[in-house]
Amino acid sequence: MDDVNELFAEANMSLQDAQQSLGTVYFEDDFNDAKRATQHTLSAFDALIERSTPEQRQSLLAANRPKMAQLQQQFHTLEQTLIHDD
């Protein structure tokens, strides 16, 4: 779970960078970094869930599902901002 937490922190920082660079020449790279980091984090969490025992799975989901949903929502919001700014 430590690896997933590190990935989550990195994805969260990438999303913040992308939000701050909106409208600048840096945005495209920051957006792509945030997208990759978000996808990587969610995939790593899914993989962790898949290889967990049923008891571990239940505990992991209860403790971390809201955090993963928040990450996904932050990316979706950033993506929607991009779509609506065009």
pLDDT tens readout for residues 71-80: 999 999 999 9
**Contact (Cβ atoms closer than 8 angstroms) between residue 44 and residue 67:** no
- Global pTM value: 0.91
Residue 86 confidence (pLDDT): 56
Residue 71 confidence (pLDDT): 98
pLDDT tens digit string along 39-73? 999 999 999 999 999 999 999 999 999 999 999 99
Across the chain, mean pLDDT equals: 95
Q: How far is CA 20 from CA 30, 33, 68, 84, in A?
A: 9, 13, 21, 17
Write out the H or E segment, with its range, that includes residue 31. helix 27-50
- How many angstroms separate the first and last alpha carbons of the chain? 38
Confidence class for position 85, pLDDT limits 50, 70, 90: low
The residues, any chain, with a CB within 8 Å of residue 12's CB and separated by 6 or more, are 71, 74
